Structure 1
């Protein structure tokens, strides 16, 4: 028996249980057979569409809009059903326990109490919340750009840079875009911040350089008074698709790097630049991608060559695990690190200043927003674009503006 048969049987059993519970709840709001079978047909169509997409999907194509939509529909119709099964399974446990207690106390075996209609309807009502959220996230949420501003103070910031502003964007993922008007709105919002410099922290494409062809005339309009600088992300290396030859992959990588020049960014590949004002300077460093457990191309020591320890330093490193594993512990003192990569998983719950949660936090210690340890900061940008799931739910696309202040 092939090794994949048993996991497949388990998966199908889980899907069957989820669908049985969901259908039991749905029956409480409609006795019309046409409505009920429409519900079953729609659920089956989502699974079949996903299965066909996966069977016909080729890694050489990268993540197509069809692939992303299949994933989006699967999540939209499955996650709400998990809410239903949690509530109904919980009530089933209560019913079985009540039956057991009754049998012990009376000595008689009684029939299982019937499920309360109210519980099923309540489960459906609660499930409607994530369902509506996912629909909104796919249609509009992925364009719900938010400008998030921070003011950071440092004792050793050169006086000339007091009030210096940085706009950070990250994870464009141009291969996912479909609406030029909405993307243009996001670019205009970036320019409205009128920051001194603009920093892009990686993943300009999903996989191939040609994904950016239709968007160069949009992103080359980005403006910053003192310059625009960028680094690479893990997707920019073309590691996630099958290439016909190593030469094709190499040519694509060169083309991806050339995109940065076409849109006016200075791409830093384990390099640094000094930013100067009134005879004073700060160091801006950019490393290639470095992720915990994969694609550790970045060389922090190479990027820091010829920089003094006492220099004020801003580091661009795509994956925040680099900061957690290497940067924050380095006694060379990198004052501010700017990352992206996580997207906050593009779904979660955020109440600014009160609460922040996403499944992303189970993978990354720093997954969205500003973090500080021992006077060293990292900002993890939630990303401008989207990937895999064609939407955003609760974790909105981000434009970060950071103002540096002399403490």
Structure 2
């Protein structure tokens, strides 16, 4: 009850300040009335959708739209509120000083709000508003091919120049534009890599979400050294209430089958040897293992029979696995490929100069390449989207990694 009361209070404060901005910019009664009615209708719709969320169904297009509407409505208004709240603090201090120090006692104790401050607040609020609109209309399908060279002094000679295409976090249940998805598949095929690796989350929850997209993803060409995948946390169907354990297990089996239906070899705590010429590397794939999520991955089982010296690439969905288990594992995994974070689908990236997202406050490795003591992890920003139906600043990614023999020049 206390949480609900605090939430209502915060909403009332945000709406109060937002209305002050509108009122300061225009005094047209019909416009102000329309604004109030529209705001109440939006809040009512969002509240209704959240109160009627069905845990037996999970995320739907409607719940994603509701979250998008929530962010679109309240993020700009929160900015407005912060600016006007700071101005009110200034007005209060200024009025107090004037009242007790100034000789002019006729001065108002609380000075009038300045219109230009409201205009500044409105301009600032337009930034997240327009960004979120862009993210929901264009950003979510603004695929970027990101190419990355990684140097290893002990890379087998035959694998110098070996290329890997990585995709992750498809979340097919969120898709709504076949043309854009087909365009992304074409981008994958254009890379002409030696091998393609898919690091999990083919659906949001249900296997049936992929039904309309199987033929589309089957268009990914057969790569010379294979197509491999691992499971992500969403593939286990653990975020909804199932009618029975049997139904949950059936869905899980169907999801595992999906990877085979799009011609990927699903690796369940196992490894495969990739041979090129007289050399070989080990590709290791584990089930999901996350510090805050399901811990089904088994590095010991997956690397059984491999020596420390053999060159190894590990596929593990959640990058938190790297610091928790992978880096201190006696088998020495040279390169780890992960996804999961999506870069929170929100942030700022200026390649080579600046990278920021709220995701970095949750994950030490959240997007791109990281190195520790000669071992590397690459975190793919995700192919699809989940929860918020868009991407702002952190775009969907197709990664192309080239393995190079030698020491990094960086």
When normalised by structure 1's length, the TM-score is 0.97
TM-superposed CA distance for 1:379, in Å, is 0.9
TM-superposed CA distance for 1:247, in Å, is 0.7
Partner residue, 1:101: 97
SS in 2 for 1:60: coil
Unpaired segments ≥5 residues, structure 1: none
For each residue in 1:180-228, what CA deviation from the matched residue of structure 2 results, as whole angstroms up to 9, or x when unmatched?
1111111111111111100000000000111100000000111222211
Which of 172, 187, 190 is the equivalent residue of 2:188?
Answer: 190
Unpaired segments ≥5 residues, structure 2: none
SS in 2 for 1:103: helix
For each residue in 1:147-180, what CA deviation from the matched residue of structure 2 results, as whole angstroms up to 9, or x when unmatched?
1111001000000000000011000001111111
Partner residue, 1:287: 286
Matches of 1:42 and 1:349, distance apart in 2: 31
Instruction: Work out whether 1:39 is the aligned partner of 2:43.
Output: no
For each residue in 1:110-143, what CA deviation from the matched residue of structure 2 results, as whole angstroms up to 9, or x when unmatched?
4211111001011101111110111111111100
Instruction: Work out whether 1:358 is the aligned partner of 2:357.
Output: yes
Which of 12, 19, 36 is the equivalent residue of 2:15?
Answer: 19
Contact 2:233 2:293 in 1 (8 A): no
SS in 2 for 1:378: strand
Contact 1:152 1:405 in 2 (8 A): yes
Matches of 2:29 and 2:134, distance apart in 1: 29
Contact 1:28 1:121 in 2 (8 A): no
TM-superposed CA distance for 1:389, in Å, is 0.7
Matches of 1:193 and 1:370, distance apart in 2: 19
Which of 328-337 and 377-386 deviates more? 328-337
Matches of 1:184 and 1:41, distance apart in 2: 41
For each residue in 1:305-346, what CA deviation from the matched residue of structure 2 results, as whole angstroms up to 9, or x when unmatched?
011110111000000110021111223211110111111111
TM-superposed CA distance for 1:90, in Å, is 1.1
Instruction: Work out whether 1:55 is the aligned partner of 2:51.
Output: yes
Aligned residues: 403
Partner residue, 1:148: 146
Which of 63-72 and 321-330 deviates more? 321-330
SS in 2 for 1:212: helix
Matches of 1:34 and 1:276, distance apart in 2: 73
Partner residue, 1:297: 296
Contact 2:148 2:401 in 1 (8 A): yes
For each residue in 1:258-297, what CA deviation from the matched residue of structure 2 results, as whole angstroms up to 9, or x when unmatched?
0111101000000000100011000100100001033111
Partner residue, 1:405: 404
SS in 2 for 1:167: strand
Contact 1:194 1:225 in 2 (8 A): no
SS in 1 for 2:26: coil
SS in 1 for 2:25: coil
Partner residue, 1:159: 157
Which of 6, 9, 25 is the equivalent residue of 1:10?
Answer: 6
Instruction: Work out whether 1:171 is the aligned partner of 2:176.
Output: no
* 1:193-342 correspondence to structure 2 within 5 Å: 193-223=191-221, 224-342=223-341
When normalised by structure 2's length, the TM-score is 0.96
